[in-house]
Chains A and B, each alone.
Chain A
Amino acid sequence: MKSACSDPHFAEYCPDCYQSRPEHERLIEQWLELTPLVAWVVGSQGRGKTRLLEWVLRDRHPVVVHCGLLGRFRREGDFYSHVLGQLGQRSITGDSLFDLRELARRDGALLLVVRDFHFLHPGLRRELMASFKGLRESREINIQIVGETRGHPGAGSASHVTSVRSLDEAEVERWGEHYRVAWRPDEARNVHRQTGGIPALVALYLEHRHMNTARPQLMDAWTRYVHDVKEQLRDRNQYELVERFKADRSTPGDVSELDALGVVDARTGRWACELYEMYL
């Protein structure tokens, strides 16, 4: 299906490949009836936040902000100025938030997708949460903000939040049926054990299974994914958390942080999946 969105990164998703997360989709669809709206999809890496939002918002022409590219931003003015830029506008008054509000008033509905909110500077996140709250409570503005983030978005956000988690064994099996996989005995259980039900890893398995590719190619795809996770952790100076976990020297705070990163399950104190245990 061709996406109507102008953002080339807001990729088109094939309806045959998208794995439905009906409970989340229904919830987000309900929220989208509201304006103004500030809503959050929360989940660790690989849990399907991006795919879910891309699917639900595929025909709604969102403006997408990639926070991973805004690491140097420190003030909310920078953020809103960037949003105005995405809309092909510049600040008229010098207060970009005000100008965005005016734009939403004048031109009608504005749907803003804030991707990877967790990558923003903590001070900026706090400022933005405050201004998002202001937008949410200003009844006359036709603006909707839907964000995705790994940890909790912050104070002021709790009324519209959904958490996407790893799949359980039955869900892995159901996803396989979507790919018309004729499961062999114990196959779904083994896939769940290896992947921990992390949707991105499950999807890689199913794509390879569907294409009948050889096992080494699947392992190559899986290890590349884990390698990417490792590189991201290194880039953000978080890999030492993994090293302490491997050496059994983690503090409860480390485990909690690794849980938020989706690497460890804090409830069990174990790796989120066998693949992480082997290759991370």
Chain B
Amino acid sequence: MIRNFWLGVHRPGVTRYQPSVADTTVRAFLAEGRGRLWLRGPSGSGKTSLRFEHAPDVRRAGRLCGELHLLGHSSSVPAETRRLTFAVELSRSLGLEQLPWKDLLATCVRERAVVFVDEVSSLRDRHPTGPIRPDDEPLLELAEAGVDLILLTMDEPEALGWPRELPVTPIWKEDLDAAAVAALVAPLARSEELAAEVMAQVGGNPVLLQRVCVMLLKRPASSLADVVAELTTDLDPFLIEIEWSVRTGLGDPEARQAWIRAIGAWEALVESGPPDSESPAVDTLRRLGLLRPGAPLSAPPCGLFLSRFDRGWCRRIRETA
């Protein structure tokens, strides 16, 4: 019986990782791929969990493997300083003694090192004015030197000012089909019907899938409706995080108008169904995770979001913005 599993939430040693198509893509890249693998998913979609899952395996297999988290680096220092600190972090992460930057790049290429890079979207804050240049961004320099990179991002590379790239793999658990979800909730009665209902409520969102399944398993007497009601009215950290992202955006004078448009687009969707065409507002909703990345616009958002972020919520957030 599966009682503990994890999707999108880092709990190594505590809960079980639930693989998806993105994991298969990562394994294929690690086995044969060269260059860069872009994995795109909104906040809470399991990017960091994927890094935590695979990086130790790569090291155990004897391959040089590094992990970089771009948010841990200051966004407001000169390129030369960034290169210096980047080299220290990367050398340490690879388990190498500290090398000069050029030597480090050469070693990475020669040894076929692979580097997981988390929070690549923070490049947008670091280079707000336009395309990234290698002499201004050590990560791009690393890429252009031919180091194998697995880049975890919320945005398309082009939106970050990164040169055009190969297709980006979305991280989402759409591929986690009803049978797999039924296996997760197998101890419960009507598990197959329940699995379909769970998928309609969570829409493949990894964090919500975990939350709902764990709550159902812990309290078998509760119905799915009870669980959804509890998640939408209680202080669930993931749902609060989405609300705070919106409030943070609305509180930022530079981003405020874009966020107001995004709330308007969500309200229109809640009232009259999916939008007809892509727009920057729709893109904001995708980054936030309210709309599924990579899915057609006609795909309905998850029921739980529609319950939690309903018309009343849209009205309140607009009034208090």
Contact = CB atoms under 8 A, between A and B. Distances in A.
B70 A134 contact: yes
Nearest to B74: A97
Chain A: number of interface residues, binned into ranges? 35 or more
Interface stretch (A6-14, A152-160, A168-176): A152-160
Contact of A80 (B74, B240, B249): B74
A54 interface: no
Given A76-B76, A98-B89, A252-B316, 20 more contacts: A77-B76, A96-B74, A97-B73, A97-B74, A101-B72, A102-B88, A122-B252, A123-B252, A127-B75, A130-B125, A133-B71, A134-B73, A135-B72, A137-B48, A152-B244, A155-B241, A159-B241, A252-B320, A253-B321, A256-B319
Contacts of A98: 73-74, 85, 88-89
A77 B74 contact: yes
Q: Chain B's interface: helix, strand, loop or mixed, by majority?
A: helix
A137 B244 contact: no
A interface secondary structure, majority: helix
A93 B78 CA distance: 11
A102 B88 CA distance: 10
Interface of B: 10, 48, 69-78, 81-82, 84-85, 88-89, 118-119, 122, 125, 237-238, 240-241, 244-245, 247-249, 251-253, 316, 319-321
A139 B315 CA distance: 40
B48 A93 contact: no
Contact of B76 (A75, A251, A253): A75
A135 B72 CA distance: 6
Contact of B238 (A126, A133, A158): A158
21 contacts: A95-B73, A95-B82, A95-B84, A95-B85, A101-B72, A123-B252, A126-B252, A131-B72, A131-B74, A131-B75, A133-B119, A134-B73, A134-B119, A137-B48, A154-B248, A157-B241, A158-B240, A161-B237, A252-B320, A253-B319, A253-B321
A89 interface: no
Interface in A239-254: 251-253
Given A93-B84, A152-B244, A131 B71 contact: yes
Interface string A18-54: 0000000000000000000000000000000000000
A134 B72 CA distance: 4
A138 interface: yes
Nearest to B245: A155
Contact of A137 (B69, B238, B252): B69
Contact of A93 (B81, B241, B249, B253): B81
A71 interface: no
B77 A77 contact: yes
B213 to A, nearest CB: 19
A94 interface: yes
Contacts of B10: 137
B33 to A, nearest CB: 25
A97 B10 CA distance: 24
A55 to B, nearest CB: 24
Given A77-B76, A251-B319, A252-B319, A130 B71 contact: yes
A137 B241 CA distance: 16
A52 to B, nearest CB: 18
Contacts of A138: 69, 72
Contacts of B320: 252-253, 256-257
Contact of B85 (A77, A93, A134): A93
Contacts of A101: 72
A159 B74 CA distance: 23
A156 B245 CA distance: 8
Contact of B72 (A96, A97, A126, A129): A97
B241 A158 contact: yes
Interface string A157-191: 11101000000000000000000000000000000
